Amino acid sequence: MPLSLDGNSLTIAETCAVARARTADVSLAPAARAAMERSRAVVDRLAAGDDPIYAVNTGVGLLAGVRIPREQLDQLQRNVVRSHAAGVGEPLAREVVRAMMLIRANVLAKGFSGIRPLIADRLCEMLGRGVTPVVPSQGSVGASGDLAPLAHMALVLIGEGEAEFEGAVIEGGEALRRAGIEPVELHPKEGISLINGTQAMLAVGCLELEAAETLANTADVVAALTLDAQRGTPRAFDARIHQARPQAGQLASAARLVRFFEGSEIRESHRGCGRVQDAYSLRAIPQVHGAVLDALAEARRVFAIEVNSATDNPLVFDDEILSGGNFHGEPLALQLDFLAIALAALAGISERRIDRLVNPALNEGLPAFLAGHPGLESGLMMVQVTAASLVAEIRVLANPASTGSITTSGNKEDFVSMGMTSAVKLQRLVRDARYVLAIEALCAARALDLLAPLKTSPALERVRERIRAVSPPLAADRPLYRDLAALESLIARGGLQLA
């Protein structure tokens, strides 16, 4: 569907949809165009005067005290873009760059940046025709925003840098030419407005938040498979327990788990077994998973505000241009770090459930490592080792970056967010956590196979069928890396979620 940007109503879902599409029909709303023209008129008037205006007729950063002659104001903007394109490392994924472009165009559309609508139009054209700048993943300290990543994006707008177009990486100017897009000549304030902002870390955040929400919802389903395979009791999910501590995520998780167990033959077979309590990794699923859901909800709240926020500097209000600090990434950096910590808990409790499924000292009546012939076969011994390895890496990745400010720009920018570091490491952490859940799904499905002819609930049996569609039953030892890759992909697509 066509998307009209007004600077106020872009959603995270729309951002992710445009990011994942090859092309998208995106344009400026008429009201946004009018607001941009009004603020541009203020910049044109003040740029022609004698008062110093940061990054319009002065240098940037520590060089803000240097006045720039009027005849060099356009050159200043080109120089700002060129000099700040100093990123290194692996390029950001295509979808991340597209999300970054979309959010940047949207916040420019708010009309506080003082640039011509033409600049946002060009970003929309690039999204529509599939021109994606090559943006290195390293080089941002998250204040003044994501300077280096956004500068690499802006380079292509002026016909420089590199871009991916029709599957090939080529010079930015050539990519624009092939797509039928004219490069822009930057005028006063337009370069600084393109590179000041939080859009790179936010782009990663939006995409990984959606992936994390899928992961968290899947975790309840997979944990339910494990609990039934362990012949655990759902009594700990009684609504009265959770209403006595009404945390929103906990209530939601507990209610889902109760629903998932309805009609389980396995549950009925041991209803009078006398077990009083299960281990924490089973009994406290709603408390842990629910806390993760609450963390995701808070991140969604913050990100939803940020996609419609003016984050460049300076900003234009009425007849004034004001310098401030909206580019600072601290609100995002804290949420990105918190997401990493939350997902570390999700993966950690999953690994403990995996061990309970395969460990002969804990799995109560199931064969050691769920092998058909323990000793001759190792069964699922090594997948728990892989899960332990992944959790160890996740714990390293969950260490916050936002606590590690390093002064930059000659001590002018003396406290930074490091939010882009938080974002980049979150990408790997989400993938690792997804693999841990894939391992738990593999083990739980195998354990349920061994409890035949008893079946779990109809809802969970449907999930087991989806697992078995990509990972056949274990008849004997076999390499499992393909199973894990297939299950990780299935989880990423939302294939193990239940309504």
Residue 20 burial (CB < 10 Å; 0-12/13-18/19+)?
middle
**Beta-carbon count within 10 A of 497 CB:** 17
Q: Which of 54, 280, 435, 481 is catalytic?
A: 54
Find out whether 405 and 416 touch, Cβ atoms under 8 Å.
yes
Return the amino acid letter for 454: L
Tell me how far CA of residue 57 lies from CA of 43, 85, 115, 254, 312, in angstroms. 11, 21, 15, 59, 16
Residue 413 one-letter amino acid: E
CA distance 108 to 102: 10
What tokens appear for 240 in the block? 């009265």
Instruction: List the beta bridge partners of residue 421.
Output: none
The tokens describing 282, both together, are: 């089973």
Rounded-to-integer distance, Cα 356 and Cα 362, Å: 5
State the DSSP H helix or E strand holding residue 164, giving kind and residue range, or none if neither. Answer: strand 162-165
Separation in Å, CA 287 to CA 81, 126, 258, 297, 344: 48, 45, 14, 15, 15
Could you confirm whether 481 is annotated as catalytic? no
Tell me the catalytic residues: 54
